[in-house]
């Protein structure tokens, strides 16, 4: 198997089963935890999704992407294949996609297209709704990592796999969800196109239309679970969610049975239609202008089962939960100054009226709610800060902590140092280290670290990646001569190894010849937040500790924001803070005074 082809190998598959096998192999091999990169892993996910779209729509495996701009992705994949495989892959493309590809390849070059090509060399953030490594929903805990892959199926309906303890199981779950999503989209699109009489009607207010769509979704889910699952041991839960505002959402309980989840989804469609019509928060002023008889009738309908609310804090949720014979609508999330019972009572009326519409329709089922009550429900906070990538961090307090950095195609474990800003690796065979063999003929450069030091020259040319995130083509230091610095180039007892250093501090510490640190280049190129977090695990007595370096944020499974105490950075060189007091074994060792000094190289998250 051509390892260099990567995601392009999926284009060579002739059946869905073959494509599923290739997807599992390539996704597991290219995941960052297996030594791959995020870009390649994400490309595999989206390639598999495009092929599944073609299978769901045409009944055979073929490329059918979601976005128009993906023709550039297709070209990049085809270039990786041998001429014979490329020709076979192109012949399997739908006619429309083949014409788009031909027009793109025959388009003449111009200044504008050249600029586009230059811009395309920079990493692009994934488009909204596209699959990425974040779809695995990894949860890092001390000593272990689990996954809960999740995708959006259709109009607020989400499906999530139950906890997967290893990467292969998580990849199989995500592959199954991708197939399920493609089948759901194909079913609902065909149904919508076939029923032209409904196209001029609101998709949310026509019950027959929603009911047919629900049956299509249920059929697509059942087909996936019975025929196309990548692992028989997988299990899934379904939930419908709609956002009302930044601090308020409408959600159903998690269901393991697809039929129950689809029934919840239909009720949610009606609930959203009612809330949209009422304009929710502005309804109080509207109801005050209604005729007295109408207003009295609505108040009578809304008085049954309505809870008496106290004002509440923002950041709450609105949820329909199962309550026996009747469902319960849990509501909160308004600003503290707004009385909730007055605003949501008319919304309750509309939901009750919608429920009766559903019950009186052609589909006579007793499962639809006829009574909805208002109750408080705290909103669960996100488990993690937005972040871009996490990489393993190995070492111990008595040695150093190191992370892998890719320079071109070569990997270097380098010390993570919060007290410097230089990225430096060997460029000559010093201390028995594996060294970088590229161009390092720039200006001379040197650095000192206490009793250790090194000298070398500036290197240019290769593309550098840190924790799977691109830094672009940057300049860095190549070490020619060193003294007491590279002491762990080969693994010593305990597994400690490092061949270089990466400084995470401020640009003021950069030596002449370097204009930007590797960390600042990652922030600018990958467009992540200028925040990093280090989990430094202790030495076990036999082996190095294995922690994590999170770039772009922090994982709240490891760090809780309420436990943070922020303090100003007093000097943007090292991470300098002012120490007011020091306690040793519970006793104060330094009195509070104005003579307290700044301390350098404090390992704090940078903001």
Per-residue pLDDT, 120? 41
Domain assignment present for 575: no
> Does 125 fall in a domain?
no
Asked if residue 355 and residue 245 are part of one domain, the reply reads yes
- Between CA 320 and CA 265 the distance in angstroms is 10
Residue 85: inside a domain = yes
Determine the pLDDT at residue 495. 52
* Tokens 């196109």, residue located: 193
Same domain membership, residue 529 and residue 443: yes
Shared domain for 357 and 395, answered yes or no, is no
Structural domain containing residue 344: 235-375
71-80 and 83-91 helices, crossing angle to 10°: 140
DSSP 142: T
Residue 382 lies inside a defined structural domain of this protein: no
Predicted pLDDT at 397: 57
Domain co-membership, 412 together with 358: no
Can you list the positions of beta strands (E) in 496-603?
A: 501-503, 532-535, 545-551, 571-572, 575-578, 583-584, 587-588, 598-599
Residue 279 belongs to a domain: yes
- Residue 499 DSSP one-character state: -
- pLDDT at position 560 is 62
What is the model's pLDDT at position 301?
30
- What was the pLDDT predicted at 275? 62
* Contact assessment for residue 498 and residue 414, using Cβ atoms and an 8 Å cutoff: yes
Cα gap 85→4, rounded to integer Å: 14
Nearest to 96 by CA among 68, 122, 119: 68
Q: Which residue, among 489, 417, 505, 391, has the nearest Cα to 145 in the 3D structure?
A: 391
Residue 497 lies in a domain: yes
In the numeric block, which tokens belong to residue 289? 């202008």
Residues 253 and 362 in one domain: yes
Instruction: Tell me, yes or no, whether 243 and 302 share the same domain.
Output: yes
Answer yes or no: do 347 and 396 share one domain: no
Q: What is the pLDDT of residue 158?
A: 93
Instruction: Please name which of 175, 370, 193, 357 lies closest in space to residue 273, comparing C-alpha atoms.
Output: 357
Q: Same structural domain for residues 437 and 527?
A: yes
Residue 598 phi, psi (nearest 5): -75, 140
CA atoms within 13 A on the CB side of 133: 24
CA distance 59 to 37: 32
552 contacts: CB under 8 Å, gap ≥ 6:
386, 387, 388, 389, 526, 528, 529, 531, 532
Q: Is 448 exposed, middle or buried (0-12, 13-18, 19+ CB in 10 A)?
A: exposed
Residues pairing with 326 in the sheet: 323
Query: What pLDDT, in 10s, does the model give residues 438-492?
Result: 888 888 998 888 778 889 999 987 889 888 788 888 899 999 988 888 776 765 5
Same domain, 369 and 399: no
Asked whether residue 607 is assigned to any structural domain, the reply reads no
pLDDT of the residue at 110:
44
CA distance 327 to 373: 8
Q: Cα(547)–Cα(537) distance, rounded to whole angstroms?
A: 5
In the chain, which stretches have pLDDT less than 50?
1, 68-69, 108-128, 142, 192, 194-205, 279-348, 352, 354-387, 592-607
- In this structure, are residues 521 and 479 in contact, taking their beta carbons and an 8 Å threshold? no
What is this structure's pTM? 0.51
Same domain as 323, residue 430:
no
How far is Cα 353 from Cα 362, in angstroms, rounded to an integer?
A: 16
SS3 147: strand
Tell me, what's the pLDDT at 143?
A: 52
Structural domains in the chain (count): 3
Statement to judge: residues 412 and 553 lie in one domain: yes
Domain's final residue, options 313, 340, 375: 375
| The two structure tokens encoding residue 21 | 């096998």
Domain final residue pick, 545, 563, 581: 563
In angstroms, the CA 5 to CA 371 distance is: 58
In what helix (H) or strand (E) does residue 144 lie, and over which residues does it extend?
strand 144-147
Q: Would residue 578 count as lying in a domain?
A: no
Residue 39's pLDDT is 80
Q: What are 162-173's pLDDT values in tens digits? A: 878 889 999 999
Residue 134 and residue 10: Cα distance in Å, rounded? 21
Q: What is the pLDDT of residue 601?
A: 39
Among 563, 580, 596, give the residue marking a domain's end: 563
**Partners of 416 in beta bridges:** 502
CA dist 103 and 96 (Å) reads 11
Same domain for 427 and 285: no
CATH number of residue 459's parent domain = 2.40.70.10
Q: What is the pLDDT of residue 559?
A: 67
């Amino acid at each position: 198997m051509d390892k260099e082809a990567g995601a392009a190998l999926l284009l060579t598959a002739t059946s869905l089963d073959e494509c599923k096998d290739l997807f599992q192999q390539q996704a597991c091999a290219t995941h960052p935890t297996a030594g791959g990169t995020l870009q390649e892993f994400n490309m595999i996910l989206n390639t598999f999704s495009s092929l599944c779209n073609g299978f769901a729509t045409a009944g055979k495996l073929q490329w059918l992407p979601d976005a128009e701009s993906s023709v550039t992705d297709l070209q990049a994949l085809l270039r990786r294949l041998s001429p014979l495989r490329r020709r076979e892959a192109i012949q399997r493309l739908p006619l429309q996609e083949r014409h788009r590809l031909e027009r793109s390849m025959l388009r003449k070059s111009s200044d504008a297209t050249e600029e586009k090509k230059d811009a395309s060399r920079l990493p692009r953030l994934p488009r909204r709704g596209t699959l990425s490594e974040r779809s695995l929903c990894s949860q890092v805990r001390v000593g272990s990592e689990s996954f809960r892959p999740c995708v959006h199926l259709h109009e607020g309906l989400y499906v999530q796999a139950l906890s997967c303890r290893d990467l292969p199981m998580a990849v199989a779950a995500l592959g199954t969800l991708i197939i399920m999503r493609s089948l759901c989209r194909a079913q609902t699109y065909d149904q919508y196109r076939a029923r032209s009489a409904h196209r001029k009607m609101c998709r949310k207010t026509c019950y027959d239309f929603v009911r047919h769509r629900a049956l299509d979704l249920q059929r697509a889910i059942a087909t996936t679970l019975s025929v196309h699952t990548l692992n028989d041991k997988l299990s899934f839960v379904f939930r419908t969610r709609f956002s009302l505002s930044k601090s308020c959402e409408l959600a159903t309980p998690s269901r393991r049975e697809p039929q129950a989840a689809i029934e919840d989804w239909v009720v949610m469609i009606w609930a959203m239609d009612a809330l949209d019509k009422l304009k929710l928060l502005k309804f109080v002023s509207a109801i005050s202008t209604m005729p007295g008889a109408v207003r009295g009738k609505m108040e009578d309908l809304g008085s049954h089962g309505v809870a008496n609310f106290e004002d509440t804090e923002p950041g709450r949720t609105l949820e329909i939960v199962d309550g026996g014979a009747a469902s319960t609508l849990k509501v909160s999330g308004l600003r503290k100054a707004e009385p909730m019972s007055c605003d949501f009572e008319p919304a309750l009326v509309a939901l009750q009226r919608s429920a009766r519409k559903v019950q009186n329709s052609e589909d006579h089922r007793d499962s639809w709610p006829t009574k909805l009550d208002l109750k408080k429900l705290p909103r669960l906070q996100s488990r993690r800060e937005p972040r871009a990538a996490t990489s393993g961090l190995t070492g111990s307090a008595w040695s150093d902590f190191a992370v892998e950095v890719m320079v071109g195609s070569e990997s270097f474990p380098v010390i993570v140092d919060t007290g410097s800003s230089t990225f430096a690796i060997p460029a000559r065979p010093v201390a028995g280290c594996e060294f970088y063999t590229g161009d390092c003929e720039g200006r001379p450069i040197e650095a000192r670290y206490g009793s250790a030091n090194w000298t070398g020259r500036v290197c240019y040319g290769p593309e550098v990646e840190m924790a799977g995130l691109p830094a672009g083509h940057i300049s860095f230091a190549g070490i020619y001569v060193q003294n007491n610095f590279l002491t762990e180039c080969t693994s010593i007892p305990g597994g400690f190894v490092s061949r270089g250093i990466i400084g995470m501090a401020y640009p003021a510490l950069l030596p002449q010849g370097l204009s930007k640190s590797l960390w600042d280049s990652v922030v600018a190129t990958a467009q992540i937040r200028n925040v990093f977090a280090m989990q430094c695990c202790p030495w076990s007595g036999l082996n190095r500790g294995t922690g994590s370096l999170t770039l772009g944020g922090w994982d709240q499974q490891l760090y809780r924001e309420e436990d943070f105490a922020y303090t100003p950075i007093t000097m943007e060189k090292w991470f300098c803070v002012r120490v007011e007091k020091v306690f040793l074994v519970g006793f104060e060792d330094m009195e509070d005074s104005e003579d307290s000094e700044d301390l350098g190289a404090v390992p704090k998250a940078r903001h």
